[in-house]
Amino acid sequence: MEQPFIPLDTLYRLPWTLPDNGITWLEPTYHCNLHCFGCYRRNIKDSDKPFEDVKHELDFYQSQRKTDCISIAGGEPLLYPHIVELVAEIKSRGLKPIVNTNGALLTKELLHELKKAGVFGFTFHIDSKQGKGRGPKWEGKDELELNELRLELAEMVAAEGGIACSFNATVYEDTLRYVPDLVEWAHKHIDIVNTMVFILFRYITPSLPFDFYAGDKKIQWDDILYHSEDEIPTDLMAPDVVNEIRKKYPDFAPAAYLNGTERADHYKWLLTERLGTKDKVFGYAGKKLLEMTESFYHLFKDRYLSYVSPGTLNLGRTTMFGTWFLDKGIKNALKNYLKYVAVNPLRMLKKVHLQSIMIIQPVDFMPNGDQSMCDGCPDATYWKDENGRERLVWSCRLEEQMQYGDFLRTVPKKKDKNNGEVETEIIINLDKKE
Ligand code: SF4
């Protein structure tokens, strides 16, 4: 039997579920100032939602789901005219507002306003396939050249103080090779960069062996927003990224994961926590630290933890001394730290930080047409269908609801005797069955 790439008994399964989760996703606008190649959302001008409607979505979330933070995404949330009020509204509800932005419109003044309104953190999406919207300075830059932009933003956030700073990037087959250098860059700036997120590229391409259906209607695959006429690889998996990172960091050890809805041994969200100073990584937290953190947080706050404040992440040394006897990974990190300070005791003056590295692997198609999504979808968002039914749906595939009023089903293409493709029949009609 094929063994999981990382034995599941060495990982903590994040306890996030549909009604009780660390994160919930809010899109106040579908308008964006960039045109990223891998984006899953149509860019719609004049699509800002009325503020009252956004507040209704927040009411709906709070009626359906315990959540620690609200990721304000889009579109580009900094284009939303009520962004400062929205951050204040989320904060006033006792939730952490996280702004998921490309950062192009962030100024020191706006940052200050958002801080006053209660912003908890930023996740900046920066990668090399974001088009020309950032202006000539960043046009054509590769992933590593974009570190200059990442650092500008991280320093701006750090100068304001007390705000969590994360970066995410979509990873394509041709940009996978940059990931270890990005992880190294994040290490160099472990004092001001709290999290790196790598999202694996998914798209619909001509060679996918499926037909697509909305209810009983067959959909032309090239009508679906996220498709490419060119054959581009769309099957990167989390272990590919881990293997790549291990070329530079052989000990790189994830500690927690979310499984797929169809595959228990898929790492849809794969979380690694490392401890280090700016010049040395001491080690990686194991599953117990993550389990303790989530369990205690839930016990006291009645919700699961997602984003952590920079102040807490700077407590790496306290974490090592306080939890080494409960977590093997931390024990190992503490040993390495003690050796490090034994060489030069002045090194004790350096702060030890925690830093998260997350790999997200969106939809995978199973050979029988089942679709494996992230179990408990942390990025679930609001959707009201044409019958007025409100619910939480996968934000990565909201476009299907907007375009077809349903999530698309995938049906394996039928082959004739000569292995040529023939039109599929509808095997199951979910609408009629209901
Ligand atoms: S299912 Fe889609 S929206 Fe939900 S967490 Fe996974 S990638 Fe994100």
User: What distance in Å separates the CA atoms of residue 299 and residue 324, rounded to the nearest whole number?
Assistant: 22
Give the pLDDT confidence score for residue 423 in this predicted structure. 62
Helix, strand, coil abundance in the chain, percent, nearest 5? 35, 25, 45
Tell me, in angstroms, the distance from the centre of ligand 1 to residue 330's CA: 30
- Ligand 1 pocket, 168 CB below 6 A? no
Give the pLDDT confidence score for residue 429 in this predicted structure. 43
Domains of the chain: 8-433 (3.20.20)
- Ligand 1 pocket, 378 CB below 6 A? yes
- Asked if 126 contacts 150 with a C-beta cutoff of 8 angstroms, the reply is yes
- Ligand 1 pocket, 375 CB below 6 A? no
- Ligand 1 pocket, 40 CB below 6 A? no
- Name the phi and psi angles at 158, rounded to 5: -65, -35
Give the pLDDT confidence score for residue 427 in this predicted structure. 43
Tell me, in angstroms, the distance from the centre of ligand 1 to residue 26's CA: 13
Give the pLDDT confidence score for residue 133 in this predicted structure. 84
User: What distance in Å separates the CA atoms of residue 363 and residue 222, rounded to the nearest whole number?
Assistant: 18
- Ligand 1 pocket, 396 CB below 6 A? yes
User: What distance in Å separates the CA atoms of residue 318 and residue 323, rounded to the nearest whole number?
Assistant: 8
Among protein residues, the one with the nearest Cα to ligand 1's atom 4 is 377
Tell me, in angstroms, the distance from the centre of ligand 1 to residue 421's CA: 31
State if pTM tops 0.85: yes
Nearest ligand 1 atom to alpha carbon 268:
6
Nearest ligand 1 atom to alpha carbon 199:
7
User: What distance in Å separates the CA atoms of residue 233 and residue 371, rounded to the nearest whole number?
Assistant: 18
Interhelix angle 179-188/147-160, rounded to 10 degrees, is 30
Helices (H), 189-301: 238-248, 287-301
Tell me, in angstroms, the distance from the centre of ligand 1 to residue 366's CA: 17
Among protein residues, the one with the nearest Cα to ligand 1's atom 8 is 379
- Asked if 125 contacts 196 with a C-beta cutoff of 8 angstroms, the reply is no
- Name the phi and psi angles at 327, rounded to 5: -135, 120
The CA angle 375-23-4, to the nearest 5 degrees, is 35
Tell me, in angstroms, the distance from the centre of ligand 1 to residue 137's CA: 32
- Ligand 1 pocket, 89 CB below 6 A? no
How many beta carbons lie within 10 A of that of residue 207, not counting itself?
Answer: 9
Among protein residues, the one with the nearest Cα to ligand 1's atom 7 is 362
Q: Hey, CA dihedral for 294, 296, 302, 307, is it positive or negative?
A: negative
Structure tokens at 406: 């349903």
- Ligand 1 pocket, 362 CB below 6 A? yes
Give the pLDDT confidence score for residue 414 in this predicted structure. 80
- Ligand 1 pocket, 195 CB below 6 A? no
C-beta pairs of 424-427 under 8 Å, 24+ apart in sequence: 424/211, 424/218, 426/213, 426/216, 426/218
Which helix (H) or strand (E) element contains residue 430?
helix 430-433
- Ligand 1 pocket, 286 CB below 6 A? no
Nearest ligand 1 atom to alpha carbon 381:
3
Give the pLDDT confidence score for residue 434 in this predicted structure. 38
User: CB-based burial of residue 60 (10 Å sphere; 0-12 exposed, 13-18 middle, 19+ buried)?
Assistant: middle
The pick from 226, 391, 395 for probing ligand 1's pocket by mutation, whose C-beta has the most ligand atoms within 8 angstroms, reads: 395
- Ligand 1 pocket, 376 CB below 6 A? no
Q: How far is CA 66 from CA 74, 100, 239, 270, in A?
A: 22, 20, 31, 22
Contacts of 29 (CB under 8 A, 6+ apart): 47, 48, 49, 74, 75, 76, 77, 79, 80
What burial letters (b/e) apply to 168-197, b meaning 16+ CB within 10 Å? bbbbbeebbebbbebbebbbebbbbbbbbb
Among protein residues, the one with the nearest Cα to ligand 1's atom 6 is 374
User: What distance in Å separates the CA atoms of residue 10 and residue 64, rounded to the nearest whole number?
Assistant: 32
- Ligand 1 pocket, 394 CB below 6 A? yes
Tell me, in angstroms, the distance from the centre of ligand 1 to residue 54's CA: 21
Q: Which amino acid is present at 3?
A: Q
Chain length of the chain: 434
- Ligand 1 pocket, 73 CB below 6 A? no
- Ligand 1 pocket, 379 CB below 6 A? yes
Give the pLDDT confidence score for residue 422 in this predicted structure. 64
User: What distance in Å separates the CA atoms of residue 413 and residue 186, rounded to the nearest whole number?
Assistant: 43
User: What distance in Å separates the CA atoms of residue 298 and residue 86, rounded to the nearest whole number?
Assistant: 26
Tell me, in angstroms, the distance from the centre of ligand 1 to residue 262's CA: 14
pLDDT tens-digit profile, the chain (434 residues): 777 899 999 999 999 999 999 999 999 999 999 999 999 999 999 999 999 999 999 999 999 999 999 999 999 999 999 999 999 999 999 999 999 999 999 999 999 999 999 999 999 999 999 988 898 999 999 999 999 999 999 999 999 999 999 999 999 999 999 999 999 999 999 999 999 999 999 999 999 999 999 999 999 998 999 999 999 999 999 999 999 999 999 999 999 999 999 999 999 999 999 999 999 999 999 999 999 999 999 999 999 999 999 999 999 999 999 999 999 999 999 999 999 999 999 999 999 999 999 999 999 999 999 999 999 999 999 999 999 999 999 999 999 999 999 999 999 998 766 667 666 554 444 444 43
- Name the phi and psi angles at 218, rounded to 5: -80, 135
